Amino acid sequence: MAALGEAAARWAPGLWRRAARAAAAFGGCRFASGSQNPPTFGLLLDIDGVLVRGHQVIPAAREAFRRLVDSQGQLRVPVVFVTNAGNILQCSKAQELSALLGFQPLPRNEFPAIEGVLLLGEPVRWETSLQLIMDVLLSDGNPGTGLATAPYPHLPVLASNTDLLWMAEAKMPRFGHGTFLLCLEAIYRKVTGRELCYAGLMGKPSLLTYQYAEGLLARQAARRGWAAPIRSLYAVGDNPMSDIYGANLFHQHLQTRREGAARSCASILVCTGVYGPRAPGPAAPSPGGEGPPFHGHRDLGFSPGLLQAAHVVSDVHEAVRLVLGREGWAL
């Protein structure tokens, strides 16, 4: 749900880094020893629509993790779960996933202090959250006093999830936090005549999310004492606009940067969530025809070609088989 903390009058530079930890990715799992060479690749796995639908695990996810863990339930390769859902503590989500999928987590119990307005996910009662956020913005962080005129620029607003749609147990996609942001932006414009401005947009498809996830993979490998750098990343997701667009954008970034170990990020689209052969969610643009409606946030640039996944597979089990085969690991 949308997290509304104490609104600070001044922007705190450290919020960028701390919010990225809360909203971008989490990892830190134990890995197994074995005779196989240390991995030079890592997996970035989306959760909703890839591993679970609501509170129900997707059967293919269990099959995938049988290939990714050893007999002691420890992961054989570095894995980071990259999700835009920020309405649960990292440690709680790690414990939930480990119980569903059968691996041993080693989560860090970290959650940032909130300075400013930090929006993590769509709330349960939208009207209440919209009203409270507007109160804070229009009063410059003092909703108990009120101001004659609304301050502008307003307090910093940071959003960690711009997904218009996401997939739960229902057959049709559900409204995501991006839809909530649309409502907030429309209300602020209607009331003030000005545009709501964001100090930052994080979560997929933001580069910051993938840069942070890459760092987690590298630290996992370092903790195991694996000297070989993680060169290849594979990002598995169900939403073309967030998962695939973000992975392809990060791949472009990796082709031009001069520092860092990773050299590529391959996008893998599964058909168990927002995307499907007959799904109403965003699809890749057809050659020579009209592209799909843009489901991304208004402040994000749009390049239709980045919606094209490097690989399209049926589910996460097939995705894992694809990755292990490309890397020459035993299936």
Say what the pLDDT of residue 84 is. 87
Say what the pLDDT of residue 255 is. 95
Q: Residue 205: name the closest of 255, 261, 167, 251 by CA.
A: 251
Q: What's the domain count of the chain? A: 1
Spans of the chain below 50 pLDDT: 1-24, 28-35, 108-115, 279-289
* Residues ≥6 apart with Cβ < 8 Å to 215: none
67/62 Cα distance (integer angstroms): 9
139/150 Cα distance (integer angstroms): 7
Say what the pLDDT of residue 196 is. 97
Say what the pLDDT of residue 292 is. 67
Say what the pLDDT of residue 128 is. 94
Distances (CA, A) of 149 to 139, 154, 183, 187: 8, 11, 22, 16
Say what the pLDDT of residue 31 is. 38
Q: Give the up-direction half-sphere exposure of residue 199: CA atoms within 13 A in the CB hemisphere.
A: 20
Helix (H/G/I), strand (E/B), else coil: 6: coil
The CATH number covering residue 150 comes to 3.40.50.1000
Show the domain range for 34.
Answer: 1-331
Say what the pLDDT of residue 148 is. 78
Contact 17, 207 (CB under 8 A): no
21/299 Cα distance (integer angstroms): 22
pLDDT tens digits, one per residue of 41-99: 999 999 999 999 988 999 999 999 999 988 877 889 999 999 888 767 778 888 888 88
287/273 Cα distance (integer angstroms): 24
Say what the pLDDT of residue 85 is. 80
* Residues ≥6 apart with Cβ < 8 Å to 240: 269, 274, 275, 281, 282, 283, 284, 307, 309
Say what the pLDDT of residue 322 is. 97
